[in-house]
Amino acid sequence: MLDFRKVLLALSVASLGLVGTASAQTPVCTTLAPQPFEGSIAQEGTTEALPTALISCNGQSVTGTLIVTLTASAPFTNQTLPHSTSIDATATDNGGDTGTVTQVGAATIQISFASVTGVLNSITVLDLRVNPSGSPLLSQVSLTLGSPSIPVTAPAANFAYVQKTLSSVTINAAPVVNTSACSLLPATISPVANVVLTNGFPGSLKVRPEIQNGSAIAATQGTTFAVTFSNLNPGVNYYVQTPLTAGSLTLTAYTSAAATTVATPGVNGLLLAAVNGSATVYYQVTADSQTGTETATIALTEVVPSVAGVTSYSSAPVAVSIVLASAGTGYPGYSSSQTAYTATQTASNTGNGLLTPCSTTLLFPYVVNTAGYDTGIAIANASTGITGVPSVTPTSGACAVTFYSGSGTPVVYNTGVIASGTDGTPFTVSAAAPGIAGYAVAVCNFQGAHGYAFITDGFGGGGAGLSADYLAVVVANQYLGATGTVAF
C-alpha cells in the first residue's frame, strides 16, 4: 500500500519579501503538504497537475506588496507550452487578494500581491502543473522553504508521487484454438485476443474537461491511447469495439490522435485499416470515476471474408503496442520517451488464436528411387472448375512434399507456385529426394489439390519396362463449408 504522505514533487519558497510598512512582528511562514494526502502524477506526463499548494503563515499583520517565489524540483509548465513566461495558475491569500503568477525560470514562478493589508494567515496556489517525465519512477522530491529575511519552520513538504499512467498492459488469447481459415464460416466473427489496460493510480486516466481544483481551466482532451496491433494476417478483417465501457470507465475510438472525430463502427465493430500486418486505433478516455482501480478490455476479433483473399499467414502471436498520444496543444501532454507500453500474446498450442492456411494434404503411399526404379509425380491445382462445393475459390499456391523412408531425416521438396486450373511442373523422386524408398506427404496451401504418381524401372529409357501408377490419397481438402472438412 503506497503511503501518499511521503511522495514526490517539491516546491520551495525561496524568498518572501514585504515592501511597504510591515507589522511590528515579521511573519513566519511555511508550506503544508496537501491534505489529507499528497497526490500522484504520471511519469509519462509533461503537464501534470499538482494538488493545491498551501503556504501557511502565523497571522501577523502586513501592509504593502507581497512577493512569493516557488521553486519546484521538476519544471513548471502551463496549458499550452512548457516554460512559458505565463502560467495557468491562480494564487490568493486569506484576505481575498489575488496574486499575479509569472514563470521566471524553468522550475521557478513568482507570485506578486499588490497592496496587501491585514493579517496574513495563508496563501493558496491552484492549478500548478509540472513536467515530471525526467523524474525516476516511484521517486519523491523534497521541497525546501527558505529565505534570508524571514524565519521559516517545517521547511520540507511533499506534493506528488510519480507513478505510471497504466499499472499493466496484458494481451490474452481469446478462447479459440489454432485454426485453419477454411474451417471458419464465411462472414462469421471469431475472437483473436483481449488487451487489458489497468490504471496506475486513481485519476491517472484523465477526462475532458479535467477541471483541476474546481477552477475554470479545462483539459483540451482526455487521455488518448494509440493502440497498435501487429502480426495480423493479410486478407482478414480485424475489428475492435467502440465505445468500451467497464463500470464508470469509458473509452471511445477516434480517427486520429487529435481525438477530434469519433470513429463510426459497423455491424461487427470498428474495422481496422491494416497495413503490412499492423493496424492502429485511437482510444480516448471519455468517462472515468477518477477513484479506485479502473480496467478496460479491448477485444480483437476477425472475419475471413474469403479464402482466396488470405494470401499469407502470420506464425507469430498477436502483439500490441500502446502509446499515450498528446494533444497538439493543451493538456494532458506526454513525453515521447516515456509513453510506450508493449505486450505479446502468449504463444501456445491451443488458445492463441493463430490462423493457418486453407490447405489440401495428399498422401503418396509408395515412392521409390532405388534398384533402378524411379517415381514421377504431378500435382494439379483443381480449385478452378469445382462445382457443388460451397466456398471453393480459385487460388494459386505451392506444395511442400515431404519424403519419409523410415530412417534418416525426412527430405522436403517445394513445388513452387501452381496456378489455379493448371498442373504443376512434374518432378521425379530422383531429382527431389534421390535414393528414397518410402512414402510422401504433400501439403498444398490451396483447395482442390490432386496428385498422380508413375513408377517405372526404366524411367527415361532402359529397364524391363515394368511400371505402375496411382492417384494420391486426398487426406484433407478443407473449405469454408458448414459441414466441416471433406474431400473432393
- Of the three residues 116, 148, 163, the one that is the final residue of a domain is 163
Q: Please check whether residues 230 and 286 belong to one and the same domain.
A: yes
Number of folded domains in the chain?
3
Show the 3-state SS of 345-375. Answer: CCCCCCCCCCEECCCEEEEEEEEECCCCCEE
Residue 82 located in a structural domain: yes
234 in any annotated domain = yes
Q: Does residue 128 lie within any of the structural domains?
A: yes
Residue 351's pLDDT is 38
Q: Residues of the chain whose pLDDT is less than 50? A: 1-24, 148-149, 176-177, 348-352, 479-488
Task: Mark whether 308 and 333 lie in a shared domain.
Answer: yes
- Residues 301 and 420 both lie in one domain: no
pLDDT of residue 365: 96
Domain of residue 342, residue span: 166-355
Last residue of a domain, one of 129, 163, 197: 163
Q: Which of 355, 387, 416 is the last residue of a domain?
A: 355
Report which of 60, 66, 59 is spatially closest to residue 115, judged by C-alpha positions.
Answer: 66
Q: Is residue 1 part of a domain?
A: no
DSSP string, 226-256: EEEEESPPTT-EEEE-SSEEETTEEEEEESS
pLDDT value at position 16? 43
Contact 123, 116 (CB under 8 A): no
Q: What is the DSSP letter of 26?
A: P
pLDDT of residue 483: 34
Give the angle 316-322-324 at the CA atoms, nearest 5°. Answer: 170
291 and 363 co-located in one domain? no
pTM (2 decimals)? Answer: 0.71
Residues 238 and 298 in one domain: yes
Q: For 181-226, what is each residue's pLDDT tens digit?
A: 665 556 678 788 899 999 999 999 998 876 666 566 677 889 999 9
Task: Kindly tell me the burial class for residue 80, based on how many C-beta atoms sit within 10 Å of its own C-beta (0-12, 13-18, 19 or more).
Answer: middle
